[in-house]
Amino acid sequence: MDGDHRPLTAPQRLDILALPSPDWLYHHLTIRGSPDEISRFRLAAAGAGVVPWVRDYDAMIERLVTLMLRPPRTERRLTIAEMRLLAGKMRDLFWQDDQAALTHYDRSRSCPFDLQRLVPVPWAILRQGDDAPDSLRWLWEHWGTTWQLRRVRDITATFRADPVTTRIFEFWSADWSPWRAITTIANAWPALTIALRPLY
């Protein structure tokens, strides 16, 4: 559900930074405000940490086999039948992973800063899948990164900050900071001070 299957896609347009194997950038995000505003924000921001993409699992097999066919015939270690078998097993694992994520999607609040809760991907985009050109464009234009944030944690307790008026999150984003999402969030929450800091 979080874009782990993106390497199956064809190269994307150059004006969208959507690499199949991205560099992950570490960030700290600091949110400050009144106790009431911080409490409301924490409630609004917490989610499952996944994007509920619609996937074509049968097409996934064909794309996997196509990727396995790319090396020259002399370098291939599997027959086409073995490739199809392996692709089917991989598809089943992807499906199981997605189903496990979806089981708790509406109830889970395990991710303290979930972009899907704050700047949600609309259904018209979700139903196209995470690797569709329109989906990548939407993510790039609204989030500023084309993958879901990873390893999101509230690390306020590790700093000398008042947890009632300040929350500090850490996360990893693909290739770029999610600056467009942060701008949207800051506009939606004008009573909060929001500071994003990439740590290289």
Q: Which residue, 151, 127, 126, 152, is CA-closest to 139?
A: 126
Residue 168's Cβ-count burial label (10 Å; 0-12, 13-18, 19+) is: buried
Work out the average pLDDT over 14-31.
Answer: 83
Domains of the chain, by residue range, sit at 6-12+21-54+109-199
The residue ranking higher by pLDDT, 192 or 73, is: 192
Work out the average pLDDT over 125-150.
Answer: 92
- Give 16's pLDDT tier (boundaries 50, 70, 90): confident
- Give 143's pLDDT tier (boundaries 50, 70, 90): very high
pLDDT of residue 1: 45
pLDDT of residue 122: 97
With 50 as the cut, is the pLDDT of residue 14 above it? Answer: no
Q: Of 45-54, 64-73, 160-169, where does mean pLDDT reach its minimum?
A: 64-73
Work out the average pLDDT over 69-92.
Answer: 81
Q: Which two tokens stand for residue 65?
A: 């086999």
- Are 25 and 176 in contact, with CB atoms under 8 Å apart? yes
With 80 as the cut, is the pLDDT of residue 19 above it? Answer: no
pLDDT of residue 150: 95
Work out the average pLDDT over 51-62.
Answer: 82
Q: Which residues pair with 169 in a beta bridge?
A: 29, 154
End-to-end distance of the chain based on CA atoms, in angstroms?
27
- Are 173 and 147 in contact, with CB atoms under 8 Å apart? yes
Q: Of 85-94, 112-121, 133-142, 158-167, where does mean pLDDT reach its minimum?
A: 85-94
Q: Which two tokens stand for residue 36?
A: 């009431």
